[in-house]
């Protein structure tokens, strides 16, 4: 039978849904906690806001590392490995959840969790922005309320050498030293034609640089130089996505890149290839022409690409018309 009881923290109740195994673990500072979670509104429908299983990756926090949702550390360190528990938390503990949720959603999408934030504390960001981009999170910002968290503790790792340090645990110098290592690892994986693994390395390096850049003043020389360092990594990532035939991913990333760097020839070229692959003829021609306009030495290459595409598109159109005539 489920039993509800209070934790040693006002405004928190715990209900064990499935017991874990063994004794309660020891949680020294730096312990890595891996867990799945669901977040529900405390209403009659118990509306689900977030579910880490839908994102197909568990969440992770590190004990004593100033995670924004401090109450989660209390909840998780009350659990055994394998335990599933439901926690009711009063609004006093859930005020920053919209920011935490937005960050986790961006991470699940492979984006920078600091996207859109200025260099200020979490609560400062909460009041600085009117919208998180998610209506259900915006409502929680306007009206803080109790939330229910259903958590399953999957793993407790107390060995700091058994896992890579997460980017938010690194100092600036450590992040900058890690970027070229990830770049080289990505290049080595490309040579082995392990494009998905290589893309992961490039994306991780981009995330580190964006995290450092978010702490600089836009327009300053350091901010600009960091932006320039991101370009080749983004282009390498997009090339991997082209090889993996993830064309819409390429279009999304190159478009974001070109909004900031309008003279990036390779960005236009890779986006043109992606547009061509998904039969966006008008967009592909426009991007190929931009390549030729920005770099005259590539005019012959662009001409060959356009001629090949014209033949392919004409062949497809003929094939389509023949098919319609046979109906």
pLDDT value at residue 307: 85
Q: Is residue 196 part of a domain?
A: yes
Report if residue 163 sits inside a domain. no
Residues 6+ apart with CB under 8 A from 201: 182, 183, 185, 186, 189
Give the domain extent around 35.
12-157
The rounded distance, in Å, linking the Cα atoms of 271 and 188 is 24
135 shares a domain with 98: yes
Please tell me the distance from the alpha carbon of residue 138 to that of residue 140, in angstroms, as a whole number.
Answer: 5
Do 137 and 181 lie in a common domain? Answer: no
Contact 204, 168 (CB under 8 A): no
**Residues 254, 234: Cα–Cα separation, whole Å:** 8
Clarify whether residues 17 and 45 are in a common domain: yes
What 8-state DSSP symbol labels residue 150? Answer: E
- Same-domain check for residues 147 and 99: yes
Is the Cβ–Cβ distance between 150 and 84 less than 8 Å?
Answer: yes
Residues 149 and 60 in one domain: yes
How is residue 136 written in tokens? 């259900």
Q: Is 210 found in the same domain as 120?
A: no
**Quick one: pLDDT at residue 270?**
95
Residue 253's nearest CA partner among 243, 242, 290 is: 242
Q: How far apart are CA 22 and CA 319, in angstroms?
A: 66
String of DSSP letters for 41-57: ESSTT--EEEETTTTTS
Q: For residue 186, is it within any domain?
A: yes
Domain boundary among 103, 124, 157: 157
Q: With contact defined as beta carbons under 8 Å apart, do 17 and 150 qualify?
A: yes
* pLDDT at res. 126: 40
Report the DSSP pairing between strands 147-157 and 84-89.
Answer: antiparallel
Long-range contacts of 7-10 (CB under 8 A, 24+ apart): 7/74, 7/75, 7/78, 7/87, 9/71, 9/74, 10/90, 10/92
- Residues 115 and 21 both lie in one domain: yes
For the domain that residue 130 is a member of, what is the CATH number? 3.10.50.40
Domain endpoint, select from 157, 181, 213 = 157
| Total domains, the chain | 2
Under DSSP, is residue 49 helix (H, G, I), strand (E, B) or coil?
Answer: strand
The answer to whether the beta carbons of residues 99 and 43 sit under 8 Å apart is no
Alpha-carbon gap, residue 134 to 252, rounded angstroms? 19
Would residue 5 count as lying in a domain? no
On whether both 77 and 27 belong to a single domain, the answer is yes
Q: Which residues of the chain have pLDDT under 50?
A: 1, 117-129, 161-163, 327
**122 lies in the same domain as 89:** yes
The full DSSP string for 182-199 is HHHHHHHHHHTT-HHHHH
Residues 270, 146 share a domain: no
The pLDDT tens digits for 54-90 are 887 888 888 876 566 888 999 999 999 999 999 999 9
Question: Do both 194 and 96 map to the same domain?
Answer: no
Q: Are residues 192 and 295 in the same domain?
A: yes
Any idea what the CATH number is for the domain that residue 298 is in? 1.25.40.10
Q: CB atoms < 10 A from the CB of 94, how many?
A: 22
* 134 inside domain: yes
In this prediction, residue 160 carries a pLDDT of 54
Residue that the structure tokens 């009041």 belong to? 127
């Amino acid at each position: 039978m489920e039993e509800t009881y209070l934790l040693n923290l006002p405004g928190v109740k715990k209900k064990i849904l499935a017991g874990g195994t063994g004794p309660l673990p020891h949680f020294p500072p730096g312990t890595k906690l891996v867990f799945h979670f669901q977040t529900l509104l405390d209403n009659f429908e118990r509306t689900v806001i977030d579910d880490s299983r839908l994102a197909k990756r568990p969440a992770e926090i590190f004990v004593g590392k100033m995670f924004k949702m401090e109450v989660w550390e209390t909840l998780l360190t009350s659990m055994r490995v394998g335990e599933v528990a439901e926690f009711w938390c009063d609004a006093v503990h859930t005020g920053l959840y919209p920011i935490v949720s937005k960050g986790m959603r961006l991470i699940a999408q492979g984006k920078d969790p600091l996207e859109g934030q200025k260099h200020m504390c979490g609560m400062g960001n909460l009041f600085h922005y009117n919208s998180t981009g998610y209506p259900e999170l915006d409502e929680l910002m306007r009206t803080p309320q109790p939330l229910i968290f259903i958590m399953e503790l999957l793993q407790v790792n107390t060995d700091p050498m058994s896992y890579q340090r997460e980017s938010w645990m690194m100092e600036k110098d450590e992040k900058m030293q890690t970027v070229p290592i990830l770049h080289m690892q990505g290049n080595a994986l490309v040579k082995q034609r392990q494009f998905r693994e290589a893309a992961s390395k490039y994306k991780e390096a981009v995330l580190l640089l964006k995290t450092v850049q978010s702490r600089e003043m836009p327009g300053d020389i350091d901010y600009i130089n960091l932006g320039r360092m991101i370009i080749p990594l983004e282009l390498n990532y997009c090339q991997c996505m082209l090889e993996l035939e993830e064309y819409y991913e390429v279009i999304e990333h190159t478009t974001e890149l070109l909004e900031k760097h309008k003279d990036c020839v390779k960005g236009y070229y890779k986006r043109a290839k992606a547009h061509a692959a998904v039969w966006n003829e008008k967009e592909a021609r426009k991007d190929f022409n931009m390549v030729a306009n920005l770099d005259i030495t590539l005019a012959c290459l662009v001409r060959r690409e356009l001629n090949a595409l014209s033949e392919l598109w004409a062949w497809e159109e003929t094939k389509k018309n023949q098919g319609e005539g046979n109906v």
